[in-house]
Amino acid sequence: MIRHFRTLFILGLVVLLLPNCSHESRIRVIKLGHALNADHPVHKGMVYMAKRVAEKSDGKMRIDIYPSQQLGTERELVELLQIGSLGITKVSSGAIEGFVPVYKVFGIPYLFRDDEHRFNILEGKIGKQILLSSEKYWLRGLCYYDAGSRSFYTKTIPILHPDDLIGLKVRTMNSPTAVGMIQQMGGSATPIAWGELYTALQQGVVDAAENNPPSYHLSRHYEVCKYYSLDEHTALPDVLLISTIIWNDLSPQEQQWLQEAADESAQYEKQLWKEACEFALQEVQKSGVKVYYPDKKPFAEKVAPIYETYRDQPEIYELIQKIKMEY
Protein backbone atom coordinates (compact mmCIF):
# COMPACT_ATOMS: atom_id res chain seq x y z
CA MET A 1 0.00 0.00 0.00
CA ILE A 2 2.83 2.40 0.89
CA ARG A 3 4.60 1.58 -2.37
CA HIS A 4 1.33 2.21 -4.26
CA PHE A 5 0.91 5.69 -2.76
CA ARG A 6 4.58 6.49 -3.39
CA THR A 7 4.15 5.59 -7.06
CA LEU A 8 1.07 7.79 -7.37
CA PHE A 9 2.93 10.67 -5.69
CA ILE A 10 5.89 10.39 -8.06
CA LEU A 11 3.63 10.20 -11.11
CA GLY A 12 1.78 13.33 -9.95
CA LEU A 13 5.06 15.16 -9.42
CA VAL A 14 6.28 14.22 -12.88
CA VAL A 15 3.08 15.58 -14.44
CA LEU A 16 3.51 18.88 -12.57
CA LEU A 17 7.10 19.26 -13.72
CA LEU A 18 6.56 18.33 -17.35
CA PRO A 19 7.83 21.10 -19.67
CA ASN A 20 5.18 23.72 -20.25
CA CYS A 21 5.04 23.17 -23.97
CA SER A 22 2.96 20.20 -25.05
CA HIS A 23 1.75 18.57 -28.23
CA GLU A 24 -2.00 17.98 -28.37
CA SER A 25 -2.74 16.15 -31.63
CA ARG A 26 0.41 17.76 -33.04
CA ILE A 27 -0.58 21.22 -31.77
CA ARG A 28 2.15 23.11 -29.92
CA VAL A 29 0.56 24.54 -26.75
CA ILE A 30 2.31 27.14 -24.61
CA LYS A 31 0.93 28.43 -21.31
CA LEU A 32 1.09 32.15 -20.55
CA GLY A 33 0.41 33.34 -17.01
CA HIS A 34 0.35 36.92 -15.72
CA ALA A 35 -0.95 39.07 -12.85
CA LEU A 36 -3.19 41.59 -14.64
CA ASN A 37 -6.96 41.34 -14.92
CA ALA A 38 -8.70 40.62 -18.20
CA ASP A 39 -9.82 44.26 -18.69
CA HIS A 40 -6.26 45.56 -18.83
CA PRO A 41 -4.95 46.71 -22.25
CA VAL A 42 -1.76 44.68 -21.78
CA HIS A 43 -3.83 41.52 -21.30
CA LYS A 44 -5.73 42.37 -24.47
CA GLY A 45 -2.41 42.78 -26.26
CA MET A 46 -1.43 39.25 -25.24
CA VAL A 47 -4.80 37.92 -26.38
CA TYR A 48 -4.11 39.52 -29.77
CA MET A 49 -0.69 37.84 -29.86
CA ALA A 50 -2.28 34.44 -29.18
CA LYS A 51 -4.74 35.05 -31.99
CA ARG A 52 -1.96 35.98 -34.44
CA VAL A 53 0.10 32.93 -33.44
CA ALA A 54 -2.88 30.67 -34.22
CA GLU A 55 -3.43 32.41 -37.56
CA LYS A 56 0.23 32.39 -38.60
CA SER A 57 0.66 28.72 -37.71
CA ASP A 58 -2.65 27.70 -39.28
CA GLY A 59 -3.69 26.25 -35.93
CA LYS A 60 -0.48 24.30 -35.35
CA MET A 61 0.49 26.49 -32.40
CA ARG A 62 -1.63 27.73 -29.50
CA ILE A 63 -1.10 30.02 -26.50
CA ASP A 64 -3.35 29.51 -23.49
CA ILE A 65 -3.56 32.61 -21.26
CA TYR A 66 -4.13 32.60 -17.48
CA PRO A 67 -4.60 36.16 -16.11
CA SER A 68 -5.14 37.55 -12.59
CA GLN A 69 -2.37 35.56 -10.86
CA GLN A 70 -4.13 32.25 -11.52
CA LEU A 71 -0.71 30.62 -11.82
CA GLY A 72 1.13 32.76 -9.27
CA THR A 73 2.53 36.20 -8.49
CA GLU A 74 4.88 38.03 -10.86
CA ARG A 75 7.94 36.71 -9.05
CA GLU A 76 6.62 33.17 -8.92
CA LEU A 77 5.79 33.23 -12.63
CA VAL A 78 9.31 34.34 -13.54
CA GLU A 79 10.76 31.55 -11.40
CA LEU A 80 8.49 29.04 -13.18
CA LEU A 81 9.84 30.29 -16.50
CA GLN A 82 13.41 29.74 -15.34
CA ILE A 83 12.78 26.04 -14.72
CA GLY A 84 10.63 25.59 -17.83
CA SER A 85 7.39 24.83 -15.96
CA LEU A 86 5.69 27.84 -17.57
CA GLY A 87 6.15 29.08 -21.11
CA ILE A 88 5.49 32.84 -21.14
CA THR A 89 4.76 35.62 -18.68
CA LYS A 90 4.38 39.39 -18.60
CA VAL A 91 6.26 41.27 -15.94
CA SER A 92 6.97 44.93 -15.19
CA SER A 93 10.55 45.89 -15.92
CA GLY A 94 10.71 47.14 -12.33
CA ALA A 95 9.81 43.74 -10.95
CA ILE A 96 12.34 41.88 -13.10
CA GLU A 97 15.41 43.91 -12.16
CA GLY A 98 15.96 41.52 -9.25
CA PHE A 99 16.46 38.76 -11.82
CA VAL A 100 18.11 40.75 -14.61
CA PRO A 101 20.00 43.81 -13.27
CA VAL A 102 20.18 45.66 -16.60
CA TYR A 103 16.42 46.34 -16.38
CA LYS A 104 17.21 48.82 -13.61
CA VAL A 105 17.80 51.37 -16.34
CA PHE A 106 14.06 51.73 -17.02
CA GLY A 107 13.47 52.74 -13.41
CA ILE A 108 15.72 55.78 -13.69
CA PRO A 109 13.39 58.81 -13.29
CA TYR A 110 13.04 61.22 -16.20
CA LEU A 111 15.29 59.10 -18.41
CA PHE A 112 13.19 59.67 -21.53
CA ARG A 113 12.59 63.12 -23.02
CA ASP A 114 9.16 62.20 -24.38
CA ASP A 115 7.14 59.29 -25.76
CA GLU A 116 8.87 59.43 -29.15
CA HIS A 117 12.27 59.07 -27.50
CA ARG A 118 10.97 56.20 -25.34
CA PHE A 119 9.58 54.21 -28.26
CA ASN A 120 12.71 54.80 -30.33
CA ILE A 121 14.72 53.19 -27.54
CA LEU A 122 12.35 50.29 -26.85
CA GLU A 123 11.83 49.41 -30.50
CA GLY A 124 15.43 50.02 -31.57
CA LYS A 125 18.83 48.40 -31.07
CA ILE A 126 19.13 49.27 -27.37
CA GLY A 127 15.72 47.82 -26.52
CA LYS A 128 16.46 44.59 -28.38
CA GLN A 129 19.82 44.32 -26.64
CA ILE A 130 18.13 44.50 -23.24
CA LEU A 131 15.47 41.95 -24.22
CA LEU A 132 18.12 39.40 -25.17
CA SER A 133 20.43 40.17 -22.25
CA SER A 134 18.31 38.00 -19.95
CA GLU A 135 18.99 34.74 -21.81
CA LYS A 136 21.79 33.86 -19.39
CA TYR A 137 19.10 33.88 -16.68
CA TRP A 138 16.92 31.42 -18.71
CA LEU A 139 14.60 34.23 -19.80
CA ARG A 140 14.25 35.65 -23.30
CA GLY A 141 12.45 38.94 -23.93
CA LEU A 142 9.99 38.86 -26.82
CA CYS A 143 8.72 42.44 -26.79
CA TYR A 144 7.78 45.42 -24.65
CA TYR A 145 4.21 46.48 -23.92
CA ASP A 146 3.51 50.15 -23.33
CA ALA A 147 2.77 50.78 -19.66
CA GLY A 148 2.84 54.55 -19.94
CA SER A 149 4.27 56.78 -17.23
CA ARG A 150 3.91 56.45 -13.49
CA SER A 151 2.63 59.31 -11.34
CA PHE A 152 1.68 59.86 -7.69
CA TYR A 153 -1.78 59.44 -6.21
CA THR A 154 -2.49 60.34 -2.61
CA LYS A 155 -5.15 60.32 0.10
CA THR A 156 -4.78 63.71 1.79
CA ILE A 157 -2.84 66.23 -0.37
CA PRO A 158 -1.86 66.51 -4.03
CA ILE A 159 1.83 66.15 -4.91
CA LEU A 160 2.67 69.41 -6.66
CA HIS A 161 6.34 69.58 -5.62
CA PRO A 162 8.82 66.92 -4.40
CA ASP A 163 8.70 68.47 -0.93
CA ASP A 164 5.05 67.40 -0.68
CA LEU A 165 6.31 63.82 -0.36
CA ILE A 166 8.26 64.52 2.82
CA GLY A 167 6.82 62.44 5.65
CA LEU A 168 4.53 60.41 3.40
CA LYS A 169 4.66 56.62 3.25
CA VAL A 170 4.65 55.81 -0.47
CA ARG A 171 4.03 52.34 -1.80
CA THR A 172 6.59 51.16 -4.35
CA MET A 173 7.27 47.95 -6.19
CA ASN A 174 9.88 45.67 -4.66
CA SER A 175 12.51 47.46 -6.73
CA PRO A 176 15.70 49.04 -5.37
CA THR A 177 15.52 51.68 -8.10
CA ALA A 178 11.95 52.68 -7.19
CA VAL A 179 12.78 52.71 -3.49
CA GLY A 180 15.81 54.92 -4.11
CA MET A 181 13.76 57.39 -6.17
CA ILE A 182 11.14 57.86 -3.43
CA GLN A 183 13.80 58.29 -0.77
CA GLN A 184 15.63 60.85 -2.91
CA MET A 185 12.42 62.86 -3.16
CA GLY A 186 11.97 62.78 0.62
CA GLY A 187 9.24 60.17 0.94
CA SER A 188 9.29 56.95 2.93
CA ALA A 189 9.36 54.09 0.40
CA THR A 190 7.24 51.10 1.41
CA PRO A 191 7.32 48.05 -0.91
CA ILE A 192 3.92 46.31 -0.93
CA ALA A 193 2.54 43.65 -3.27
CA TRP A 194 0.12 45.06 -5.85
CA GLY A 195 -2.72 42.80 -4.75
CA GLU A 196 -2.45 44.08 -1.18
CA LEU A 197 -2.26 47.78 -1.99
CA TYR A 198 -5.96 48.71 -1.93
CA THR A 199 -6.29 47.50 1.66
CA ALA A 200 -2.96 49.10 2.63
CA LEU A 201 -4.18 52.48 1.36
CA GLN A 202 -7.57 52.04 2.99
CA GLN A 203 -6.08 51.16 6.38
CA GLY A 204 -3.39 53.84 6.31
CA VAL A 205 -0.42 51.48 6.03
CA VAL A 206 0.68 53.83 3.23
CA ASP A 207 -0.42 57.36 2.37
CA ALA A 208 0.27 57.27 -1.35
CA ALA A 209 1.24 55.15 -4.33
CA GLU A 210 2.36 55.69 -7.90
CA ASN A 211 1.24 54.14 -11.15
CA ASN A 212 -0.14 54.81 -14.62
CA PRO A 213 -3.75 55.94 -15.26
CA PRO A 214 -5.24 52.58 -16.38
CA SER A 215 -3.78 50.75 -13.37
CA TYR A 216 -4.96 53.52 -11.02
CA HIS A 217 -8.44 53.21 -12.51
CA LEU A 218 -8.79 49.44 -12.90
CA SER A 219 -7.44 48.78 -9.39
CA ARG A 220 -10.11 51.15 -8.02
CA HIS A 221 -7.45 52.89 -5.96
CA TYR A 222 -9.19 56.15 -6.89
CA GLU A 223 -11.88 55.19 -4.38
CA VAL A 224 -9.33 55.78 -1.61
CA CYS A 225 -6.90 58.27 -3.19
CA LYS A 226 -8.66 61.32 -4.61
CA TYR A 227 -5.56 63.27 -5.72
CA TYR A 228 -3.69 62.27 -8.86
CA SER A 229 -0.61 64.32 -9.79
CA LEU A 230 0.73 63.58 -13.27
CA ASP A 231 4.42 64.24 -12.67
CA GLU A 232 5.24 61.20 -14.88
CA HIS A 233 8.50 60.41 -13.07
CA THR A 234 9.20 57.01 -14.64
CA ALA A 235 8.11 55.07 -17.72
CA LEU A 236 8.64 51.38 -16.98
CA PRO A 237 7.55 49.14 -19.84
CA ASP A 238 5.99 45.75 -19.35
CA VAL A 239 8.14 42.93 -20.70
CA LEU A 240 6.88 39.76 -22.38
CA LEU A 241 9.24 36.92 -21.44
CA ILE A 242 9.55 33.33 -22.63
CA SER A 243 11.48 30.58 -20.90
CA THR A 244 14.66 29.82 -22.85
CA ILE A 245 13.96 26.14 -22.14
CA ILE A 246 10.69 26.46 -24.06
CA TRP A 247 12.12 28.80 -26.73
CA ASN A 248 14.97 26.45 -27.55
CA ASP A 249 12.51 23.58 -27.92
CA LEU A 250 10.62 25.45 -30.66
CA SER A 251 11.48 24.95 -34.30
CA PRO A 252 12.88 27.96 -36.22
CA GLN A 253 9.48 28.31 -37.91
CA GLU A 254 7.64 28.29 -34.58
CA GLN A 255 10.08 30.85 -33.17
CA GLN A 256 9.39 33.08 -36.17
CA TRP A 257 5.62 32.80 -35.78
CA LEU A 258 5.83 33.66 -32.09
CA GLN A 259 8.25 36.57 -32.47
CA GLU A 260 6.27 38.12 -35.32
CA ALA A 261 3.02 37.79 -33.36
CA ALA A 262 4.63 39.36 -30.28
CA ASP A 263 5.95 42.32 -32.31
CA GLU A 264 2.54 42.88 -33.90
CA SER A 265 0.80 42.66 -30.53
CA ALA A 266 3.12 45.34 -29.11
CA GLN A 267 1.96 47.79 -31.79
CA TYR A 268 -1.67 46.80 -31.24
CA GLU A 269 -1.36 47.26 -27.48
CA LYS A 270 0.26 50.67 -27.91
CA GLN A 271 -2.96 52.04 -29.43
CA LEU A 272 -5.09 50.30 -26.80
CA TRP A 273 -2.93 51.89 -24.11
CA LYS A 274 -3.43 55.39 -25.46
CA GLU A 275 -7.20 54.92 -25.48
CA ALA A 276 -7.17 53.35 -22.01
CA CYS A 277 -5.25 56.29 -20.54
CA GLU A 278 -7.73 58.81 -21.91
CA PHE A 279 -10.68 56.74 -20.69
CA ALA A 280 -9.17 56.18 -17.23
CA LEU A 281 -8.56 59.88 -16.61
CA GLN A 282 -12.10 60.71 -17.67
CA GLU A 283 -13.61 58.03 -15.42
CA VAL A 284 -11.65 58.84 -12.26
CA GLN A 285 -12.54 62.52 -12.58
CA LYS A 286 -16.21 61.55 -12.83
CA SER A 287 -15.71 59.82 -9.48
CA GLY A 288 -14.43 62.98 -7.83
CA VAL A 289 -10.68 62.63 -8.37
CA LYS A 290 -8.76 65.87 -8.83
CA VAL A 291 -6.09 65.55 -11.51
CA TYR A 292 -3.06 67.85 -11.40
CA TYR A 293 -0.27 68.58 -13.90
CA PRO A 294 2.65 69.81 -11.78
CA ASP A 295 5.82 71.34 -13.16
CA LYS A 296 8.16 68.39 -13.75
CA LYS A 297 11.37 70.41 -13.48
CA PRO A 298 11.62 70.42 -9.64
CA PHE A 299 11.02 66.65 -9.60
CA ALA A 300 13.71 66.02 -12.24
CA GLU A 301 16.18 68.24 -10.38
CA LYS A 302 15.47 66.47 -7.09
CA VAL A 303 16.29 63.03 -8.48
CA ALA A 304 19.22 64.10 -10.70
CA PRO A 305 21.83 62.79 -8.18
CA ILE A 306 20.51 59.26 -8.75
CA TYR A 307 22.27 59.15 -12.11
CA GLU A 308 25.70 59.44 -10.50
CA THR A 309 25.02 56.56 -8.11
CA TYR A 310 25.33 54.23 -11.10
CA ARG A 311 28.95 55.13 -11.86
CA ASP A 312 30.05 52.02 -9.96
CA GLN A 313 27.77 49.91 -12.19
CA PRO A 314 29.47 50.45 -15.58
CA GLU A 315 26.96 48.47 -17.65
CA ILE A 316 23.99 50.47 -16.34
CA TYR A 317 25.81 53.81 -16.39
CA GLU A 318 26.94 53.35 -19.99
CA LEU A 319 23.42 52.38 -20.99
CA ILE A 320 22.02 55.51 -19.35
CA GLN A 321 24.41 57.67 -21.37
CA LYS A 322 23.53 55.89 -24.63
CA ILE A 323 19.80 56.34 -24.03
CA LYS A 324 20.14 60.01 -23.17
CA MET A 325 22.14 60.64 -26.37
CA GLU A 326 19.80 58.63 -28.61
CA TYR A 327 17.39 60.50 -30.89
Rounded mean pLDDT, 83-111:
94
Can you tell me the distance from the alpha carbon of 264 to that of 271, in angstroms, rounded to the nearest whole number? 12
pTM for this model (two decimals): 0.87
The reply to whether 18-146+237-279 and 150-235+286-325 are identical in fold is yes
Residues 213-219 have a mean pLDDT of 94
* Tens-digit pLDDT profile for residues 152-169: 999 999 999 999 999 999
Domain 18-146+237-279 carries which CATH code?
Answer: 3.40.190.170
Q: At what angle do helices 125-132 and 314-325 cross, to 10 degrees?
A: 160
Which pLDDT value is given to residue 4? 41
Question: How much is the pLDDT for 49?
Answer: 98
pLDDT at 14: 36
pLDDT band at 11, cuts 50/70/90? very low
Tens digits of per-residue pLDDT, 225-265?
999 999 999 999 999 999 999 999 999 999 999 999 999 99
pLDDT tens, residue by residue, 271-290: 999 999 999 999 999 999 99
pLDDT band at 29 (very low <50, low <70, confident <90, very high): very high
Domain ranges of the chain: 18-146+237-279, 150-235+286-325
Give backbone dihedrals phi and psi of 326, rounded to 5 degrees, phi first.
-70, 140
Q: Is 159 helix (H, G, I), strand (E, B) or coil?
A: coil
pLDDT band at 326 (very low <50, low <70, confident <90, very high): confident
Whole-number mean pLDDT of the chain? Answer: 92
Q: What is the mean pLDDT of residues 306-317?
A: 93
CA 275 distance to own-chain centroid: 19
Instruction: Note the pLDDT tens digit of each residue in 105-139.
Output: 999 999 999 999 999 999 999 999 999 999 999 99
For residue 120, the number of C-alpha atoms closer than 13 Å in the C-beta half-sphere is 13
Q: What is the dihedral of CA 219, 178, 157, 167, to 10 degrees?
A: 130
Q: Is 159:152 a contact under the CB 8 Å cutoff?
A: yes
Look up the CATH architecture of domain 150-235+286-325: 3-Layer(aba) Sandwich (3.40)
Instruction: Check if the beta carbon of residue 265 is closer than 8 Å to that of residue 49.
Output: yes
Residues whose CB is less than 8 angstroms from the CB of residue 139 and which lie 6 or more positions away in sequence, other chains included: 78, 81, 82, 96, 99, 100, 241, 242, 243, 244
Instruction: State mean pLDDT over 213-228.
Output: 96
| Amino acid type, 14 | V
